[in-house]
């Protein structure tokens, strides 16, 4: 019989090595190796959903399509992210920073579903009385909810068998340990083994599973990368702890779109879905101050208007500072380079700080136009009119390129009271000529980056 075997696994890419390595030869991550000890040499199947069933291959054509039963959670913003509700028999991973509100959201979910469905809430982090206190604070009292304060997987599976729930919640996967593995809770092996066995079990029974996962200091999901492949959906819970709003983002969803976000407001009574996130994000916008511009981004099917801010200040240091919060750093550098080259404005002797208000993260290239306006506005100290919103992707030649779903964005901007909407000129013309769409009132075209400067110059003139 073979004795225990030690391997070192990269937590980023699951590369394995017999020795500890400082840098992963596969993905290049530093300090990502964790020791794993196997007590037996049995290898668990890579995908617990398929499993080692020993079934014969079947003719694809004759397969029945399983009907995915969706169970709406009644929490509108969560349903939006899940693609219409919780799919019966699916495994979901909810990851987020400590204290962001994961347990709160799940307790509210129990409150909504815990009367019709049997729910087993396994908490490895909190005692029963702590859970009860939270439920009381949130005003939820589900009649069919069972709580289990336990960390040993074998005991959890035993209880699962006797309770036979429709939904099982594990809070959190990093606290679970399996007796068959000697390494500590939260190690790569434990997380993988516990998740594997839980998912294999619920897939066989058609039970829904929600796993809470911690995030590491870089913001990624802690534990083995394979965890994200094992589950059907990965939801990321984001937000600034200093602010009250929270965003749930679908990073992966086998039963719905991955672009949707759900916005919540954290209150003493729990997380309240925000139906109109744009209005919330624009609240308290400064008036007549340079360096701020409204931006419209698409998050899935929904346009959201946020505020992008820039601060450009002269510096005497030879290497000026550049920081970007909520915007990709490289995108900001590219935009700065285009402004320098095409407009001749010099940022090399200035510090540049950029921020998206409300902790939003922008990766929609349509935001380029607003970023440009905010940067030039701060540099020249000319405020962008509050009722102006700009959208357009910038090309390296300084031209504005078409943006998808432009009419949806325009409607949202109008709904929120924006009367000057700047969009790429080419797109507007094409829409008018080819598609016969009349340019809506208040919408103007921008050919290139010069037009962004022109908008600001006009504002300055009208003020004088």
| Residue ranges that bind Mg ion, judged by CB under 5 A | 103
Closer to ligand ATP by CB, 96 or 385: give it: 96
Strand-strand pairing, 388-390 and 420-424: parallel
- The answer to whether 410 contacts ligand ATP (rule: CB under 6 A) is no
Among ligand ATP, Mg ion, none, what binds residue 104 when CB lies within 5 to 8 Å by partner kind?
ligand ATP
Residue 402: left (phi > 0), alpha (psi -120 to 50), or beta? beta
Q: Which of 80, 102, 192, 197 binds ligand ATP (CB under 6 A)?
A: 102
Stretch that binds ligand ATP, among 101-109, 280-288, 334-342, 404-412 (CB under 6 A): 101-109
* CB neighbours of residue 436 within 10 Å: 7
Among ligand ATP, Mg ion, none, what binds residue 265 when CB lies within 5 to 8 Å by partner kind?
none
Structure token digits, residue 136: 């009381």
Closer to ligand ATP by CB, 270 or 385: give it: 270
CA 260/CA 356 separation, integer angstroms:
19
- The answer to whether 217 contacts ligand ATP (rule: CB under 6 A) is no
Rg value, the chain, Cα: 26
Strand-strand pairing, 86-87 and 70-71: antiparallel
Closer to Mg ion by CB, 136 or 323: give it: 136
Closer to Mg ion by CB, 103 or 386: give it: 103
CB proximity list for 295: less than 8 A, separation 6 or greater? 305, 306, 307, 308, 356, 362, 367, 370, 371, 389, 390, 391
- The answer to whether 314 contacts ligand ATP (rule: CB under 6 A) is no
* CB neighbours of residue 454 within 10 Å: 12
Structure token digits, residue 456: 């600001």
Q: Minimum Å distance from CB 354 to ligand ATP?
A: 27
Closer to ligand ATP by CB, 100 or 384: give it: 100
Select from 293, 431, 297 the least CA-distant residue to 366.
Answer: 297
CA 254/CA 352 separation, integer angstroms:
40
Q: Are 352 and 312 in contact (CB under 8 A)?
A: yes
Closer to Mg ion by CB, 103 or 253: give it: 103
Nearest-5° angle of CA 287, CA 292, CA 297? 120
Closer to ligand ATP by CB, 222 or 352: give it: 222
CA 162/CA 444 separation, integer angstroms:
66
Stretch that binds ligand ATP, among 43-51, 67-75, 94-102, 409-417 (CB under 6 A): 94-102
| Sign of the dihedral defined by the CA atoms of residues 178, 183, 189, 190, in that order | positive
CB proximity list for 406: less than 8 A, separation 6 or greater? 391, 423, 427, 431
- The answer to whether 385 contacts ligand ATP (rule: CB under 6 A) is no
Among Mg ion, ligand ATP, none, what binds residue 101 when CB lies within 5 to 8 Å by partner kind?
ligand ATP
Closer to Mg ion by CB, 223 or 326: give it: 223
Stretch that binds ligand ATP, among 102-110, 144-152, 189-197, 278-286 (CB under 6 A): 102-110
Among ligand ATP, Mg ion, none, what binds residue 270 when CB lies within 5 to 8 Å by partner kind?
none
Q: Minimum Å distance from CB 323 to ligand ATP?
A: 26
Residue nearest Mg ion, CB atom distance: 103
Closer to ligand ATP by CB, 222 or 384: give it: 222
CA 407/CA 410 separation, integer angstroms:
5
Select from 268, 248, 327, 3 the least CA-distant residue to 139.
Answer: 268
Q: Which of 83, 101, 142, 165 binds ligand ATP (CB under 6 A)?
A: 101
Q: Minimum Å distance from CB 235 to ligand ATP?
A: 12
Residues 123-142 that bind ligand ATP (CB under 6 A): 125, 137
Closer to Mg ion by CB, 203 or 214: give it: 214
Q: Minimum Å distance from CB 271 to ligand ATP?
A: 9
Residues 238-297 that bind ligand ATP (CB under 6 A): 266, 268
CA 330/CA 380 separation, integer angstroms:
23
Stretch that binds ligand ATP, among 33-41, 99-107, 283-291, 420-428 (CB under 6 A): 99-107
Give the x/- contact pattern for ligand ATP in 61-80, rule: CB under 6 A: --------------------
DSSP lists the bridge partners of residue 302 as 299
CB proximity list for 125: less than 8 A, separation 6 or greater? 103, 171, 172, 175
Structure token digits, residue 42: 């049995």
Q: Which of 18, 98, 284, 436 binds ligand ATP (CB under 6 A)?
A: 98
CA 337/CA 348 separation, integer angstroms:
10
Count of residues that interact with ligand ATP, criterion CB under 6 A: 12
Give the three-state DSSP class for 443: strand
Residues near ligand ATP (CB under 6 A) are 96, 98-104, 125, 137, 266, 268
């Amino acid at each position: 019989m073979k004795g225990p075997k030690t391997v070192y696994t990269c937590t980023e890419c699951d590369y394995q090595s017999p020795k500890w390595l400082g840098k992963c030869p596969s993905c290049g991550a530093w300090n990502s190796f964790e020791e794993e000890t196997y007590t037996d040499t049995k290898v668990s199947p890579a995908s617990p959903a398929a499993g080692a069933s020993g079934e014969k291959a079947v003719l694809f054509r004759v397969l029945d399509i399983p009907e995915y039963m969706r169970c709406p959670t009644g929490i509108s913003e969560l349903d939006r992210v899940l693609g219409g509700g919780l799919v019966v028999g699916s495994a979901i991973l909810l990851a987020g920073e400590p204290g962001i509100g994961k347990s709160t959201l799940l307790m509210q979910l129990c409150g909504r579903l815990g009367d019709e469905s049997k729910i087993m809430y396994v908490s490895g982090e909190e005692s029963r009385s702590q859970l009860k206190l939270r439920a009381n604070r949130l005003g939820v009292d589900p009649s069919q909810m069972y709580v289990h304060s336990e960390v040993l997987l074998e005991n959890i599976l035993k209880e699962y068998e006797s309770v036979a729930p429709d939904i099982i919640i594990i809070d959190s996967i990093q606290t679970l340990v399996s007796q068959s593995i000697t390494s500590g809770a939260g190690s790569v092996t434990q997380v993988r083994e516990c998740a594997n066995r839980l998912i294999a079990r619920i897939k066989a029974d058609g039970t829904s599973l929600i796993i809470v996962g911690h995030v590491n200091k870089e913001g990624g999901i802690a534990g083995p990368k394979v965890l994200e492949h094992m589950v059907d959906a990965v939801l990321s819970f984001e937000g600034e702890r200093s602010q009250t709003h929270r965003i749930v983002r679908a990073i992966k969803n086998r039963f719905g779109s991955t672009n949707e976000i759900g916005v919540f407001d954290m209150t003493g009574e729990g997380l309240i879905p925000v139906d109109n996130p744009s209005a919330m994000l624009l609240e308290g916008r400064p008036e007549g101050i340079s360096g701020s511009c409204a931006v419209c981004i698409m998050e899935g099917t929904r346009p959201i208007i946020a505020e992008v801010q820039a601060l450009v200040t002269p510096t005497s240091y030879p290497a000026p500072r550049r920081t970007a919060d909520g915007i990709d750093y490289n995108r900001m550098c590219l935009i700065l380079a285009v402004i320098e080259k095409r407009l001749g404005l010099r940022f090399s002797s200035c510090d540049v700080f950029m921020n998206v208000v409300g902790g939003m993260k922008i990766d929609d290239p349509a935001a380029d136009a607003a970023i440009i306006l905010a940067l030039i506005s701060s540099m020249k100290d000319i405020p962008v009119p509050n009722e102006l919103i700009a959208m357009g992707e910038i090309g390296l030649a300084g031209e504005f390129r078409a943006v998808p779903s432009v009419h949806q964005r325009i409607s949202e901007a109008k709904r929120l009271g924006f009367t000057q909407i700047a969009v790429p000129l080419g797109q507007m013309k094409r829409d008018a000529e080819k598609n016969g769409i009349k340019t809506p009132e208040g919408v103007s075209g921008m050919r290139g980056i010069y037009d962004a400067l022109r908008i600001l110059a006009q504002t300055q003139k009208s003020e004088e």
